[in-house]
């Protein structure tokens, strides 16, 4: 009796359920003149006892961001520490997959290469590390120092260049770690948007760093990946190289899912949702914007706006590779004094020396204020209590705001907004018009991008490569066949 009922119920629902699963599998595919990446958050969803990791990551990153970057080519890019989000790139002929950290503050793409000294061999992220082997790729070639890349990309001559010698690079970071090697050029394969949740293959010949030696944190991190993909503004970045070749425009967006991990990362003009923007500060190595003030529950903090120009960088840095948010001391103190206004008798305690924490059993969005940042051109950015508060134990919450003067290696105060502020928002970087913008958004949903060739708008969805991988046509065909067979058995 039970089997008859189950069989009849499966006849009605089974094929529909399997087809819905198929739709979800197809939804993995992305990418026309718009390129989409699967993105995975390095730490997954926020929460849990990860404060040591987050703090150490941000501390290393700040040291690197503020340090001078030394390219032998005379480059002015400033690659930073590995970002919190990574994606999968396919490189070479035959193609091989590489997991690289997505970094909006870096200017080059580099991967670990065969024969690399002190390159990591294992990762705790659940991915297999792969070394790029130039000799094993039929489409790969060395970039020599007498080629245009060495002068054009970095706007400087290559000293002591011998014809045919490799175009070398060396990056030394603020915490003493480094990567060095030489540039190569090879095909990088992308998913190009060709319809709603449909893609076609696209490749571009891209110059990237082949890391032959590493030191410090880069060579010893247990949360290792195969390299870094830089989405900075310099001519050497991947998006700049693709734009020069006419394959894309210099516009990209990310939507980082702060709850579930993963999200959306795409090259292309976003047409839905609509995004309001603010100008980028010119001649800065990072994505800097002009902050006008901060409001707590709609009331402005009593602070001079000139304080946001403190330090060597002008304006406020927007950086998806930093976990927390860092404010100058006077701003930090003023903000912290207002956060507890609704809870005057709630005692706080320090965790790990600098995180102000407390025990609270109520709903944090009801008990603590909303913080709003105001920028030039009337662009605002709202941060809710559930964004800036971390639950580290049962009913124990910690505040994510940090004093930047106490965090940077050289003690300089900066204003830097990381994932604490940027998660669960679509952030659009328009380098064509030198602006950046954002809007609150469900990063587990989808966005629409415009195909510049046809003028059509296409939908692309969110992804999380920790739980799903790209499905090729053979696997998809086999899955459809399995559905057909099972449905016939249930008739």
Contact by Cβ (8 Å): 388, 312: no
177/220 Cα distance (integer angstroms): 10
Q: State yes or no: is 319 an active-site residue.
A: yes
Calculate the CA dihedral of residues 76, 81, 84, 86 and round it to 10 degrees: 70
List all residues 6 or more positions away from 473 whose beta carbon is below 8 Å from its beta carbon.
Answer: none
The H or E element containing residue 334 is helix 329-339
Q: State yes or no: is 103 an active-site residue.
A: yes
Q: Are strands 251-256 and 263-267 parallel, antiparallel or unpaired?
A: antiparallel
260/43 Cα distance (integer angstroms): 10
206/187 Cα distance (integer angstroms): 6
Given the residues 58, 107, 186, 319, the one annotated as active site: 319
Given the residues 32, 81, 103, 175, the one annotated as active site: 103
Contact by Cβ (8 Å): 180, 171: yes
Residue 175 CA: distances (Å) to CA of 80, 150, 172: 11, 27, 8
Q: Are strands 446-450 and 269-272 parallel, antiparallel or unpaired?
A: antiparallel
Active site residues: 103, 319
């Amino acid at each position: 009796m039970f089997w008859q009922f189950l069989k009849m119920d499966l006849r009605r629902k089974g094929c529909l359920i399997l087809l819905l699963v198929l739709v979800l599998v197809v939804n993995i595919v992305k990418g026309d003149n718009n390129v989409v990446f699967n993105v995975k958050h390095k730490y997954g969803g926020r929460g849990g006892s990860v404060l040591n990791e987050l703090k150490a990551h941000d501390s290393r990153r700040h040291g690197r961001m503020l340090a001078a970057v030394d390219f032998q080519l005379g480059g002015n890019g400033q690659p930073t520490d590995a970002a919190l989000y990574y994606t999968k790139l396919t490189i070479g002929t035959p193609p091989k997959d590489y997991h690289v950290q997505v970094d909006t503050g870096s200017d080059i793409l580099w991967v670990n290469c065969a024969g690399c000294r002190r390159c990591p061999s294992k990762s705790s992220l659940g991915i297999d590390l792969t070394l790029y082997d130039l000799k094993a790729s039929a489409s790969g070639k060395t970039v020599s120092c007498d080629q245009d890349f060495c002068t054009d990309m970095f706007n400087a001559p290559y000293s002591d260049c011998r014809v045919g010698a490799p175009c070398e690079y060396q990056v030394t970071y603020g915490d003493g770690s480094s990567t060095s090697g030489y540039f190569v050029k090879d095909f990088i394969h992308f998913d190009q948007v060709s319809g709603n949740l449909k893609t076609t293959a696209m490749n571009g010949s891209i110059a990237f760093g082949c890391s032959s030696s590493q030191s410090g944190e880069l060579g010893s991190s247990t949360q290792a990946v195969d390299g870094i993909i830089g989405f900075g503004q310099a001519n050497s970045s991947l998006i700049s190289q693709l734009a020069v070749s006419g394959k894309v425009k210099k516009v990209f967006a990310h939507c980082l899912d702060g709850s579930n991990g993963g999200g959306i990362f795409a090259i292309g003009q976003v047409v839905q949702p609509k995004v309001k923007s603010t100008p980028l500060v010119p001649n800065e190595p990072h994505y800097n914007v002009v902050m006008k003030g901060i409001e707590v529950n709609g009331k402005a903090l009593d602070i001079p706006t000139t304080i946001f120009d403190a330090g060597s960088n002008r304006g406020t840095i927007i950086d998806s590779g930093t976990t927390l948010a860092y404010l100058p001391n006077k701003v930090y103190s003023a903000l912290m004094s207002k956060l507890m206004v609704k809870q005057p008798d709630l005692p706080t305690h320090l965790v790990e020396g600098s995180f102000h924490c407390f025990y609270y059993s109520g709903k944090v969005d009801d008990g603590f204020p909303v913080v709003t940042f105001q920028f030039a051109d009337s662009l605002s950015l709202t941060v809710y209590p559930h964004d800036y508060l971390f639950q580290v134990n049962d009913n124990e919450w910690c505040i994510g705001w940090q004093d930047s003067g106490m965090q940077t290696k050289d003690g300089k105060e900066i204003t830097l907004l990381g994932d604490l502020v940027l998660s669960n928002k679509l952030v659009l970087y328009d380098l064509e018009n030198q602006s950046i913008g954002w809007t609150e958004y469900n990063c587990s949903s989808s966005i629409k991008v415009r195909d510049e060739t046809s003028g059509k708008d296409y939908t692309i969805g969110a992804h999380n490569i920790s739980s799903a991988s790209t499905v090729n046509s053979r696997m998809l065909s086999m899955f459809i066949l399995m559905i057909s067979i099972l449905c016939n058995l249930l008739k």
